[in-house]
């Protein structure tokens, strides 16, 4: 009888263990997320365990968090929440997801540096892609001690940024972001590009500055090397650039469709009608295409350019003032016809 009781107890314990294991297995290795494709879960630095649960439910459409709550309790996850961006695949189990979040196993995000006119616009775009807010980024970029240490001033700082898409951690700090941009800048300005810049007689910052003017002058990729060649001809001859986009930048009025004589009187180091050579720095963050158009500019004898009268976005080029005035007259007539002032 005693033997039978022992067998019964052992059998009961076995059944309980089996049942418990089955439940535990189901809790930890189930697939609770109903998402069609891999989705990023963003954990902020001020998130609590409750807000993490909320994000799991809303972002990943979790049907149950019983397993996740159990693991959080066992491992004390509420006291060691790691901020970051975590890419969660549809096939991830509760255990896999918890393991990634608990150990801070972030997934890099794609950060795109755009070609924009001002650092303020750059800050707004970047801050939407990483955890750092615009105020902290702006504060660092306006810190004269910081950018002077990098070798820039307030005018040349836009030349640091090379528009491209990079992989970074979402939690990258403003300082780490700038350090990363420094590395990418050095990588971009390799020996080959440096030699091309030197052959033109320009530094990387000056190439970037000229590229920014070229990009404001034309949106046509095929025409950029032509425009770059024209300005390089002017620089080598000691002629003023007389670039309309620099006047718009000086006035900080990018809506101007027609540059008038009154605009040319603007007192600013960026006004290339009044000041010889290049302006103090880029008038926008130029694209890689823009920079390459300067480094690989078209060799020609043109010194003048004017927008084509068909408003196609292309330009008429001229080697002398007489031809240029003829081109300009045609364009002016079309402006008047269309009441563009």
34 and 135 housed in the same domain: no
Question: What's residue 18's pLDDT?
Answer: 39
172 and 229 housed in the same domain: no
**What number of other Cβ atoms are within 10 A of residue 340's Cβ?**
11
The CATH number assigned to the domain holding 72 equals 3.30.1490
221 and 151 housed in the same domain: no
CA–CA separation, 177 vs 171, rounded Å? 10
| Boundary-marking domain end, from 83, 102, 121 | 102
Question: What's residue 298's pLDDT?
Answer: 97
Q: φ, ψ for residue 131 (rounded to 5)?
A: -70, -30
Contact in structure between 205 and 159 (CB atoms under 8 Å): yes
Question: What's residue 328's pLDDT?
Answer: 87
166 and 239 housed in the same domain: no
Contacts of 106 (CB under 8 A, 6+ apart): 82, 84, 85, 86, 169, 170, 171
79 and 131 housed in the same domain: no
Residue 277 maps to a domain? yes
Contact in structure between 130 and 109 (CB atoms under 8 Å): yes
Residue 138 domain boundaries = 109-188
Domains in the chain, number:
3
| Boundary-marking domain end, from 67, 102, 137 | 102
Question: What's residue 15's pLDDT?
Answer: 34
Question: What's residue 26's pLDDT?
Answer: 66
Instruction: From first to last of the 341 residues of the chain, give the pLDDT tens digit.
Output: 555 455 444 334 333 343 345 455 667 778 888 999 999 999 999 999 999 999 999 999 998 899 999 999 999 999 999 999 999 999 999 999 999 999 999 999 999 999 999 999 999 999 999 999 999 999 999 999 999 999 999 999 999 999 999 999 999 999 999 999 999 999 999 999 999 999 999 999 999 999 999 999 999 999 999 999 999 999 999 999 999 999 999 999 888 888 888 998 999 999 999 999 999 999 999 999 999 999 999 999 999 998 898 888 899 999 999 999 999 889 888 888 887 76
Question: What's residue 69's pLDDT?
Answer: 93
| Boundary-marking domain end, from 163, 188, 213 | 188
Residue 21 maps to a domain? no
Assign residue 82 a region (left: φ > 0; alpha: ψ between -120 and 50; beta: otherwise).
Answer: beta
CA–CA separation, 172 vs 169, rounded Å? 5
161 and 199 housed in the same domain: no
160 and 209 housed in the same domain: no
Residue 267 maps to a domain? yes
125 and 94 housed in the same domain: no
Cα dihedral value 48, 54, 58, 60, nearest 10: 70
184 and 212 housed in the same domain: no
User: Helix 204-217 to helix 224-237 angle, to the nearest 10 degrees?
Assistant: 120
Residue 119 maps to a domain? yes
Residue 264 maps to a domain? yes
65 and 144 housed in the same domain: no
Two tokens, residue 203 = 């530094």
Owner of token pair 């920079």: 291
Q: How far is CA 79 from the centre of its chain?
A: 34
Question: What's residue 14's pLDDT?
Answer: 39
Contact in structure between 28 and 67 (CB atoms under 8 Å): yes
> Which pairing describes strands 84-88 and 304-307: parallel, antiparallel, or unpaired?
unpaired
177 and 238 housed in the same domain: no
């Amino acid at each position: 009888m005693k033997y039978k009781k022992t067998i019964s107890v052992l059998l009961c314990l076995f059944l309980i263990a089996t049942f418990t294991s089955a439940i535990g297995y189901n809790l930890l290795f189930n697939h609770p997320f109903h998402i069609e494709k891999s989705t990023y879960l963003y954990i902020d630095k001020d998130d609590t365990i409750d807000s993490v649960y909320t994000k799991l439910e809303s972002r990943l459409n979790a049907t149950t968090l019983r397993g996740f709550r159990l693991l959080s309790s066992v491992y004390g996850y509420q006291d060691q929440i790691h901020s970051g961006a975590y890419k969660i695949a549809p096939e991830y189990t509760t255990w896999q997801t918890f393991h990634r979040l608990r150990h801070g196993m972030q997934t890099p995000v794609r950060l795109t540096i755009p070609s924009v006119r001002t650092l303020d616009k750059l800050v707004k775009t970047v801050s939407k892609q990483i955890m750092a807010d615009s105020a902290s980024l702006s504060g660092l970029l306006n810190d004269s001690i910081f950018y002077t240490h990098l070798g820039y001033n307030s005018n040349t700082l836009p030349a640091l940024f090379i528009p491209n898409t990079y992989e970074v951690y979402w939690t990258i700090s403003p300082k780490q972001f700038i350090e990363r941009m420094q590395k990418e800048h050095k990588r971009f300005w390799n020996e080959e590009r440096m030699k091309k810049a030197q052959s033109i007689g320009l530094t990387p910052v000056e190439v970037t500055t000229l590229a920014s003017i070229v990009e404001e002058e034309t949106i046509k990729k095929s025409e950029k090397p032509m425009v770059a060649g024209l300005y390089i001809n002017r620089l080598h001859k000691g002629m003023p650039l007389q670039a309309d986009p620099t006047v718009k930048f000086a006035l900080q009025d990018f809506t101007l469709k027609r540059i008038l004589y009154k605009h040319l009187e603007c007192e600013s180091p960026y006004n290339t009608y009044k000041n010889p050579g290049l302006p103090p720095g880029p008038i926008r963050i130029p694209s890689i295409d823009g920079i390459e158009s300067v480094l690989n500019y078209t060799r020609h004898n043109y010194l003048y350019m004017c927008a084509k009268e068909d408003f196609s976005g292309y330009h008429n080029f001229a080697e002398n003032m007489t031809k240029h005035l003829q081109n300009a007259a045609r364009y002016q007539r079309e402006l008047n016809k269309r009441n563009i002032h």
